[in-house]
Amino acid sequence: MAKFELTRELIDFIRELIEQNNVAQLTEILLELHPADIAEIYEELSVDEAKFLYFLLDDDTAAEVLINLEEDDRQNFLKSLPSEEIARRFIDNLDTDDAADIISEMDEERQKEVLSFIDDTEVADDIADLLSYEEDTAGSLMAKELIKVRESWNIITCLRSMRRQVEEVDEVYFVYVVDDKDILKGTISLKRMLLASSENRVRELYNPDVISVNANTHSEEVANIMGKYDLVVLPVVDDNGKLLGRITIDDVVDYIREEAEKDYQLASGITGDVEISDSVWRHTRVRVPWLMIGMMGGLLGSRVISAFEGNIARFPEVAFFMPLIGAMGGNVGIQSSAIIVQSIASGNLGFETNWRKLGKEVSIALLNASALSVIAFIYNMIVGSSYALTFTVTSAMFSVVLFASLLGTFLPLLLNKFKVDPAVATGPFITTLNDIVGMFLYLILSVYFFNLFM
């Protein structure tokens, strides 16, 4: 694979081959490409061109390409295919979790139609079961494919059953042990089974120490558990402990990436999940709320400045450092809030939390404020000609940096307590509030020091 490098020239060449109906050369190129690379090519083609390539792929590759497509491209592509084709060509060649993810993107009527064309009724039932779980829960992430054995079986019976089950499982991480009611009891390693006597019972060999999650556990907690215990797979159980499925690390990585994209959008002042291909109206609708908050903050900031108009007119050099004070407040606030938001997301901080950690943030704030104010003092002593301006800028720098650090530390905790996504605290909200308060502190200090020295 990877004989061909994905370039604009290659994509244009593929388009020419499609126009020429050159199946032989197209097939040769597709055989040398990874499904993820083919998905990238699909995104550059029209629906009709993508369908032409699709019919040249074997079933397994076609299914993998579909998984790797961006959601919007996948939806547009699937709309052009009949439900029976989707079921027989794609769904039958996917793990149940991937199949459920794809079907969940369709409307309810189309979902039922696709499920009705799945030949294996057990697989169709498994997918329908996965679709019943709420989004962002362990149940929505899990796959039904796994290998399980009963604790009452001997080793010979286990191996026979495992040979049949392994046909449906791509990666074997663990063999799960259940009782006669499918209650999860533990895991057993292949090594122990191979070294054991054929007459040994599973109950004599399995490891009862197994970490599992309930099907209704939130996906974020699932990610935290897998990260904390370095797990590559995690079994999912119901309220009674019955084994339902397993979550593999690749599904968790996909979830983390999606959440990171959402958090980045929130931090940028975008209050919705949007893609580059979404309409102009949707992009505008999710950006405007925070832009309005920023604008209102700017208007309030202008009122603060206008209140000190007389002082600025008397001492115009005060205006020279206003952009610096505003910028430093915003930067420091975002830095502090980013650390706290990250800690909240990983489950290490809450509103009722470890005060030693918060004390550490306060100490960092004091050190940063001291260092930056010393630099401001030295600069003004060398370059400036006014003691009043020197002490104004120095004291304002210390005050604003300290305030911004504390705001960035405690505001995300407060938002989290009131069930507001703390990621919003890293965006325009903190920047705007810092601008207003920072400007007020700077100007009020300028009044004090200029009256003191003049």
pLDDT of residue 267 exceeding 80: no
Per-residue pLDDT tens over the stretch 337-391:
877 777 776 666 554 555 676 778 788 889 999 999 999 999 999 987 788 999 9
Q: How confident is the model at residue 8 (pLDDT cuts 50, 70, 90)?
A: confident
Structure tokens at 337: 């809030």
Question: CB 38: neighbour CB atoms within 10 A?
Answer: 22
Q: CA-CA distance, 346 to 223, in Å (whole number)?
A: 9
DSSP reduced 3-state for 450: helix
Residue 14 has what pLDDT? Answer: 92
Q: How confident is the model at residue 419 (pLDDT cuts 50, 70, 90)?
A: confident
Q: CA-CA distance, 384 to 317, in Å (whole number)?
A: 10
* For residues 181-202, average pLDDT: 91
Q: How confident is the model at residue 409 (pLDDT cuts 50, 70, 90)?
A: confident
- Mean pLDDT, all residues of the chain: 86
Q: CA-CA distance, 405 to 378, in Å (whole number)?
A: 23
Q: Which residues of 183-215 are buried (b: 16+ CB within 10 A; e: fewer)?
A: ebbbbbeeebbeebeeebbbbebbeeebebbbb
Q: CA-CA distance, 441 to 340, in Å (whole number)?
A: 25
| DSSP code of residue 220 | H
Q: Which residue has the higher pLDDT, 102 or 6?
A: 102
pTM: 0.67
* For residues 53-74, average pLDDT: 88
Q: How confident is the model at residue 212 (pLDDT cuts 50, 70, 90)?
A: very high
Alpha helices per DSSP H over 20-80: 23-31, 35-42, 47-54, 59-68, 71-79
Q: Can you give the length of the chain in residues?
A: 454
Q: Which residue has the higher pLDDT, 427 or 237?
A: 237
Residue 184 has what pLDDT? Answer: 97
The fold for domain 147-255 equals CBS-domain (3.10.580)
Q: How confident is the model at residue 411 (pLDDT cuts 50, 70, 90)?
A: confident
Name, in order, each residue with C-beta under 8 angstroms of 177's C-beta and a sequence gap of 6 or more: 148, 149, 150, 151, 184, 185, 186, 187, 188, 202, 203, 206
Of the candidates 445, 437, 446, 432, the residue with the CA atom closest to the CA atom of residue 402:
437
Across 169-289, where does the E strand assignment appear?
175-178, 184-188, 213-214, 233-237, 243-248
Per-residue pLDDT tens over the stretch 217-249:
999 899 989 988 999 999 999 999 999 999 999
- pLDDT cut 90: percent of the chain above it: 41
| DSSP code of residue 34 | -
Q: How confident is the model at residue 257 (pLDDT cuts 50, 70, 90)?
A: confident
Domain residue limits, the chain: 8-135, 147-255, 289-453
Q: CA-CA distance, 263 to 261, in Å (whole number)?
A: 5
Across 134-250, where does the E strand assignment appear?
147-150, 175-178, 184-188, 213-214, 233-237, 243-248
The fold for domain 289-453 equals Tetracycline Repressor; domain 2 (1.10.357)
Q: Which residue has the higher pLDDT, 268 or 69?
A: 69
Paired with 233 in beta bridges are 248
CATH number for the region 8-135 comes to 1.25.60.10
